[in-house]
Amino acid sequence: MAATASTSPISNGAPGAPFGVATSASRQSVTRRLQSELMQLMMSAPSGVSAFPVSDDNLLAWAGTIEGPDDTYYAGMKFKISLEFPQEYPYKPPHVKFTSPMYHPNIDMGGNICLDILQNTWSAALNVQTVLLSLQSLLGEPNNKSPLNGEAASLWDFPEKYRVRLDQRCKRED
């Protein structure tokens, strides 16, 4: 089926539509879902995390902030992230990236993140709030068995050395 003004190709197909075709209804479903998640964040955002669309006319691109949890190397720090939602959301995860400089075992110098829920364990039951809280948790509990930044993983258990490298790469709020 050729794409028309009311359809566009997608990879998983919308319910009730031919495989590989997004309907206007499926795009509206994504919009409704993201509006609902935005409202949830505005009404009851967990402490230390936030995210909002970057513009009023595009709900698929968001910017967020993650505060470093107390009692971690990242306490007193704030990090900016970008979230890009695919047309297939929530059936496919958002693409999330740190836009602030970051030094962490599971985050490379380009801001790319190695986190299972953003890859192979994503589920439509997860949402923006889950992603934000998981990222905040990751700051204090990295998976050093699957590092994107090998140096950070090797220094994690050496607090003085880790803090020196972290302070070189990231700014603390005073």
pLDDT score, position 138: 98
50 in any annotated domain: yes
11 in any annotated domain: no
pLDDT score, position 22: 55
110 in any annotated domain: yes
Question: Number of structural domains, the chain?
Answer: 1
CATH number of the domain that residue 153 is part of: 3.10.110.10
Q: Containing domain of residue 106, as a range?
A: 44-169
pLDDT score, position 24: 64
Catalytic residue among 77, 114, 132, 148: 114
Instruction: List the beta bridge partners of residue 67.
Output: 78
35 in any annotated domain: no
Which segments of the chain are extended strands (E)?
7-9, 21-23, 49-55, 58-67, 78-84, 95-98
Within 71-158, residue ranges assigned H as helices are: 128-140, 150-155
Q: Which residue has the tokens 């490298």?
A: 165
Please give the chain's pLDDT, 174 residues, in tens: 344 443 334 444 444 444 444 556 667 889 999 999 999 999 998 999 999 999 999 999 999 999 999 999 999 999 999 999 999 999 999 999 999 999 999 999 999 999 999 999 999 999 999 999 999 999 999 999 989 999 999 999 999 999 999 999 997 654
pLDDT score, position 173: 56
In the residue annotation, 170 being an active-site residue is answered as no
143 in any annotated domain: yes
39 in any annotated domain: no
60 in any annotated domain: yes
17 in any annotated domain: no
